[in-house]
Every structure is written in structure tokens, then in C-alpha cells.
Amino acid sequence: MAAAKKEEILAVMDVTKCLFQFTQFTVLRCVIELGIPDIVENHPGKGGVSLAELSKASGSLKPFLYRVMRFLTSRGIFKEVKMDGQDSSIGYAHTPFSRQLTKDRMAPIFLVMSSPELVSSKLSLAKVLSSKTDYSNGFEAAHGMDFWKYSAANPAFGELFANGMASTVSPRISLVLENYPTVFEGIGCVVDVGGGNAKALRMLVKACPWIVRAINFDLPHIVALADGGDDGRIEHVGGDMFVEIPHGDAILIMSVLHDWDDEACVKILKNCRDAIPKETGKVIIMDYVINHDNDNEEYRLAMDMEMLSQTINGKERNVKEWDDILKSAGFTKHTIKSIPAPVSVIEAYP
């Protein structure tokens, strides 16, 4: 076979695989909505869940469910097992992949990313790239308003988004505490800007008993739903990060700045700088840094496409771009620390 013909055949196969990535994406959303990963996780039997049991527990039609599970097991997402003594010989057990789809792990972020709102935003990217466009992002093109206004006007979606973002907090904070615990040493009061439901602060005050005060700062309608748990050190403050940020020894700002353009980031960072002591304070930024290491570069570049489809000129930045906005905001020095996660830890000092 001629080399050119072989390359063409391989190219067709690659494009075909790409075509069906969206199929897999939607089927995964289907099983999450039916609660199947959690049914498998919580089943009392050690050998797996039979097709009949899974059908009954999820309220699914057995023949159709079988086809869905056959599709997913063929991709190694669930594992097919033999069910001796059951009314069906077919059963299913978790793989490391499928276990991440439970509601206490990554199901919330998957439901956000596969929501009609965000999918339609991605389908509107051509409108954003057009030289004649009036839109700054795919979300606005799809919904007629920016992401934040839509979230405020549609509480169900706003809550879905908040829950999705919260599901990413625990693994990332855990990785920082495990791999770079000194970043939080000596901090008496920490302010989490864009802290959402305060999950990060609940983890921090538990792991860092020297933190005597933790302020969860977000928009008023978001902090109204937040829960500090039983720890009296956590308080919730509603406000606007573009106006003023509560004072503390350190400011934590996690996966927020990539939502905004450079001008907006400089404004936010100036307010962060004004909220910390000049001699001893610092701003801890947990965000994406393109080209910082090779392990998570594909993820970061994909997130850059998410920013193009969701936000008003939001983007992922490389080391130089971070350096530029931090200097413009008045910070005299900063460090960037890589951790085994898509985000890096940036410490900025006044």
C-alpha cells in the first residue's frame, strides 16, 4: 500500500474517532443523570451489580441500558463481570474512570461541562471568530447575555455551576497541602476571593489550625448559599471584587483570573494587593499557566477554548503574561510553583 494512501486511511480513522468523542460525552452524561456510577459504588455486593439490578435501581429500560453499558465497557469506562446466581449473567463494576463519575467526585463538573448552556456556547465559536462578529464569547452569542448575568438570572444553572466548580476544589487543595504545604504557613487570616460555597476554606482551616479567621468572599447571591460548617472561624462576606476585597494576611484566588481579560485582572489584583499588609502579605493564585510543564498542557489548552466559549475575553496565560499583569498590578515579585495538577501556585508579593 502506498504511503500516501495509508496516511489517508489513518487520517479517516482519526477523524472518525473524533466524531464519536461527543457521543461518548453525551452517553456519560446520560449515566450520570441516571445515577448509575453511584448505584455501582453503593451496591452492597462485592462482585458488581447485575444488569437487572442496575436497570431497576436506575429506572432504566433493561434492553437500552444494556446497549449503553456495552458501549461504555468497550471503552474501559465500566467493567463487565459475571454474576453467578443472579437472574442475569451480566453485571458491572467500577473502573478507576467510572468511579470518578460519582456525585461526590467529578459528576458535578461533568454535568456543568455537558450542560445545554455550555454545549451551545461551544457550538457558537464560529460566530466569535468571525471578522464581522459582535460577540466577545460563545456564551453571549448563544444566550444573548454574558455568563455571569445569565447565572444570576437563572438560579438553577448558577447552582449547577457552583456545585461543579466546588467539585474541583477538594482535589486541588489536597494536592497543594500535600505537595506545597508551606504556602499557607504563618497565615492568621485568609480571604478566599470567589470562594463559592466555602469548600476550600473548610479544608484549609481543618488542615491549618493556625488560621484563626477565614473569609469567604463572593457575590452576595452566591455566599447566601454557602456553608461554613461548624467551624466558627469561617465567615461569609458578599461583595464585588472589582470594588473592594476584605483585608487579610493573605488572599487566595483560585481559578478566577482566567475568566477575565488583562485589564480586569489588573483591577482585581490591585484590590487584592490593597487588602494585604505591604510588608508581610501575599496573594496566592491557583490558576493555569501555559507551558509551565508538559504533564497537563493538553488540559490547559482545552481550558483556553472553554474560556473563549464562556467568558468575556477570558484566557489562559503563559509565564510572561502572568508576569505582565502582576507587574501592572504593582506586585514587586512572584514565584510560580508546579504541583501535580493542571493548575500551578503563584505567590505574589506587594
Q: Is 319 exposed, middle or buried (0-12, 13-18, 19+ CB in 10 A)?
A: middle
- pLDDT tens digits for 101-130? 999 999 999 999 999 999 999 999 998 888
Mean pLDDT of 174-199: 93
CA distance 117 to 121: 6
| Residue at 99: amino acid letter | R
Do 85 and 121 fall into the same domain? no
Cell 467493567, residue located: 79
Mean pLDDT of 307-330: 93
Cell 490591585, residue located: 270
Do 140 and 237 fall into the same domain? yes
Do 37 and 112 fall into the same domain? no
Strands of 264-342 (E only): list them. 282-290, 317-318, 333-338
Residue closest to 309 by CA, chosen among 117, 121, 116, 147:
121
CB atoms within 10 A of CB 248: 24
Q: Which long-range contacts (CB under 8 A, 24 or more apart) does 337-342 make?
A: 337/180, 337/183, 338/292, 338/293, 339/175, 339/176, 339/179, 339/180, 340/175, 340/179, 340/295, 341/171, 341/172, 341/175, 341/296, 342/288, 342/296, 342/299, 342/300, 342/303
| Coil, helix or strand at residue 2 | coil
Asked if the model's pLDDT at residue 254 lies above 90, the reply is yes
CA distance 272 to 253: 9
Mean pLDDT of 157-179: 89
Do 74 and 111 fall into the same domain? no
- pLDDT (0 to 100) of residue 152: 85
CATH of the domain at 296: 3.40.50.150
Do 35 and 126 fall into the same domain? no
DSSP state of 347: E
List, by residue number, the catalytic residues.
258
CA distance 177 to 340: 12
Among the candidates 99, 134, 151, a domain finishes at 99
Do 253 and 163 fall into the same domain? yes
Do 274 and 312 fall into the same domain? yes
Average pLDDT, the chain: 91
H/E segment holding residue 348: strand 343-349
Residue closest to 235 by CA, chosen among 206, 214, 205, 209:
214
List, in order, residues 6 or more apart from 113 with CB less than 8 Å away.
Answer: 164, 306
Residue closest to 223 by CA, chosen among 200, 211, 205, 239:
239
Confidence of residue 85 (pLDDT cuts 50, 70, 90): low
Do 339 and 215 fall into the same domain? yes
Mean pLDDT of 296-307: 89
CA 251 centroid distance within chain: 20
| Residue at 87: amino acid letter | D
Among the candidates 50, 65, 99, a domain finishes at 99
Asked if the model's pLDDT at residue 328 lies above 70, the reply is yes
- pLDDT tens digits for 206-238? 999 999 999 999 988 888 877 766 678 999 999
Residue closest to 185 by CA, chosen among 250, 254, 130:
250
Judge contact between 180 and 174, C-beta under 8 A: no
Do 139 and 261 fall into the same domain? yes
- pLDDT (0 to 100) of residue 87: 53
Do 119 and 43 fall into the same domain? no
- pLDDT (0 to 100) of residue 311: 87
Q: Comparing 5-9, 90-94, 138-142, which segment has the lowest mean pLDDT?
A: 5-9
CA distance 201 to 169: 10
Confidence of residue 294 (pLDDT cuts 50, 70, 90): low
Do 246 and 179 fall into the same domain? yes
Judge contact between 300 and 342, C-beta under 8 A: yes
Mean pLDDT of 14-21: 87
- pLDDT tens digits for 265-290? 999 999 999 999 999 999 999 999 99
Among the candidates 99, 133, 160, a domain finishes at 99
Do 95 and 125 fall into the same domain? no
DSSP string, 141-200: HHHSS-HHHHHHH-HHHHHHHHHHHHHHHHHHHHHHHHH-GGGGTT-SEEEEET-TTSHH
C-alpha count within 13 angstroms, C-beta hemisphere, residue 336: 17
CATH of the domain at 15: 1.10.10.10
Confidence of residue 86 (pLDDT cuts 50, 70, 90): low
Q: Comparing 5-14, 240-249, 273-282, which segment has the lowest mean pLDDT?
A: 5-14
Mean pLDDT of 166-193: 92
| Residue at 211: amino acid letter | I
Domain count, the chain: 2
Mean pLDDT of 180-194: 95
- What domain range is 43 assigned to? 3-99
- pLDDT (0 to 100) of residue 8: 86
